[in-house]
Amino acid sequence: MRYAHTVDQVRAAEADLMARLPEGTLMQRAATGLAVAIGNFLGHVYGASVVLLIGSGDNGGDALYAGAQLARRGAQVTAILLSSQAHPSGLAALKAAGGRVGGLAEIAAADVVVDGIVGIGGRPGLRPDALAAVEQAEHHGVPIVAVDSPSGVDVDTGETPAPHVNAALTVTFGTHKLCHFIDPAATACGPVHLIDIGLDLPPATASALQPADIRDLYPTPSAESDKYSRGVLGLIAGSAQYPGAAVIATAGALSGPLGMLRYVGPAAVAAEVRASHPEVVAGDGRVQAWAIGSGLGDELDIAAVRELLDAEEPVLLDADGVRALDESGDHTQVLITPHAGELARLLGVDRSTVEAARLKHARLAAERYDVTVLLKGSTTVIAAPDGQLRVNTNATPWLATAGSGDVLAGLCGSLLAAGLTPIDAASVGAYLHAAAAQLAASRGPITALDIARHLPAATHWVLTGSVPNSADSQT
């Protein structure tokens, strides 16, 4: 698992470690890792032109000491001082190594600009002089390497309400921060390179599952398993207006670990589902979980859904099904899978408000409705009512296609029926859904059913580490 900590958690861990180390040791560790990362990013050091944007914080000190190391290896290093309180020892080290202080004109010919403007405690936005330097780099197409986090983003929320650095690479220390996981700031970070500096950290605020975690959680059948013990999912989806949603959600569910799917809905839609998936059982019966909402439109029966929410089986609510939520009752076994617009309607705010503060609104919905929230998007945010937070970061833009969310709802419902908790079902489902899209997109644009068809191969890929051949992934 990858973990992300808050600014306060990181600062406390740094203070504890610095109290036990000789003065300056921690900064030297960070600077050495930063210098190596910049050299790897450039592909060479000797003769490279490096410009440092230096503010008053420790990130500026990290950048100055890293610049000194690069200068000793033959780089031409120039520091642009954006504060009269630049780290004095770091600046002296840079000058002693042959670096110098310059102005904005140096940026045009640079190979890389290093963002040491503000540290992780900085507020969103950039001061005019810093913004002018960043705009110069952008104008001349000079890539920026951010130190710890891109200056100007909100480190603890991932929000970007004001001008900020857009980095080609972010080099961070000790642990990931929330802005590295959550959009829109995650996009501003670019790839993130983590350097271990020996911090003793408390439990993380957020985590992102990796393949080993999926292998530990995935409900693999045993020799004694049957279709009932593997899990039976009840699916209420599709309508006269959107019959395809039921077919697509069924495809997603059948590509998960469940043993049987019961479809409950209009006879005409049931006929289409069974025409595509003859193994589906149509009609009521005992289930281990419900997936409700994809394509229901105006045919959503809120009263009937609320009865199921009050029953003992876990329930997934997608799309129109989310409208059945109310603030009463115990919904800790409920998983909702809205996109930003659906979550905005649930919370009574504008879609743009949710998109600008994804973490805030996912947590708000989880707390208000006592549910686990899977907020779909470029980075999927999963917030549980007990405060747990997970993020899925392996998505591909090709997932933005009609019906993709129906596949995800079916898959997560399947995982619920197989016995996973809402947060684990959401986390495993989001990861495998994205992995399937990556496989499907290896040949170009994809549809929702392409994603569903690639789910078995993606699951095999993640569970075994064996990349499937292209022919297998098409079947």
Q: Which residues are annotated as a binding site for K(+)?
A: 59, 115, 151
User: Contact, 281 vs 223, CB < 8 A?
Assistant: no
What are the structure tokens assigned to 21, written together? Answer: 């180390």
100: left (phi over 0), alpha (psi -120 to 50) or beta: beta
User: Contact, 87 vs 24, CB < 8 A?
Assistant: no
One-letter amino acid of 154: D
User: Contact, 270 vs 294, CB < 8 A?
Assistant: no
List residues forming the annotated binding site. Answer: 58-62, 115, 119-125, 148, 151, 245, 295, 339, 376-380, 405-406
Q: Which of 379, 405, 104, 92 is nearest to 244 (CA)?
A: 405
Q: Which of 55, 335, 30, 309 is nearest to 194 (CA)?
A: 30
User: Contact, 144 vs 165, CB < 8 A?
Assistant: yes
List residues forming the annotated binding site for AMP. Answer: 376-380, 405
Please name the helix (run of DSSP H) or strand (run of DSSP E) that holds residue 474, with its range, or none.
none
Rounded CA gap, 330 and 309, in Å? Answer: 9
Report, in angstroms and rounded to the nearest whole number, the Rg of the chain calculated over CA atoms: 25
Residues β-bridged to residue 77: 50
List residues forming the annotated binding site for (6S)-NADPHX. Answer: 58-62, 119-125, 148, 245, 295, 339, 406
Give φ, ψ of 160 to 5 degrees. -135, 70
Query: Burial, 387: exposed, middle or buried (Cβ in 10 Å; 0-12, 13-18, 19+)?
Result: exposed
What is the distance of C-alpha 116 from the center of its chain?
25
One-letter amino acid of 192: V
Please name the helix (run of DSSP H) or strand (run of DSSP E) that holds residue 428, with its range, or none.
helix 422-440
Q: Which of 466, 398, 406 is nearest to 436 (CA)?
A: 398
